[in-house]
Amino acid sequence: MPIIHISLRAGKPEAYRQAIFDSLYCAMREALDVPEDDQFMTISEHDAANFRYGNAYGVTRSDDLVLIQITVFDSRTLEQKKALYRRIAERLGENPGIRPENVFVNIVPTAKENWSVGHGLAQFA
């Protein structure tokens, strides 16, 4: 049950943004084995004045940087997380053509009881 928030510079065409959604969904299916149609994602676009980044950690980024924050159950293993990082970079490289240097991913693990996916119920508690 991942929730994904994506931030990027404004101005990319709809097909580019949809390719990001599709690539992330495929990577999650492959690396985390999320259920079919488990797609809860948003994209926030920012103008240049509201989108700042640096080249820290030996990575040279550009204005095509995509910040991806994934909130998931805290049951994911280190191996699953590493596989997810790799598949996201590969998939986004294939479509829509984002350089791996511009793929910044952050995973936020949360306990299952912190989720309600509808009807006001704690389905996973």
> Of 2, 35, 96, 109, which residue is the catalytic one?
2
Which two tokens mark 99? 């350089």
Q: Is 109 part of the annotated catalytic residue set?
A: no
101 CB-contact burial (10 Å; exposed 0-12 / middle 13-18 / buried 19+): middle
Q: Which residues, in sequence order, are bridge partners of residue 1?
A: none
CB distance 76 to 118 below 8 Å: no
Residue 81: C-alpha distances to residues 16, 33, 71, 85, 108 (Å) = 25, 12, 12, 6, 11
C-alpha 30/C-alpha 83 separation (Å) is: 9
Catalytic positions are 2
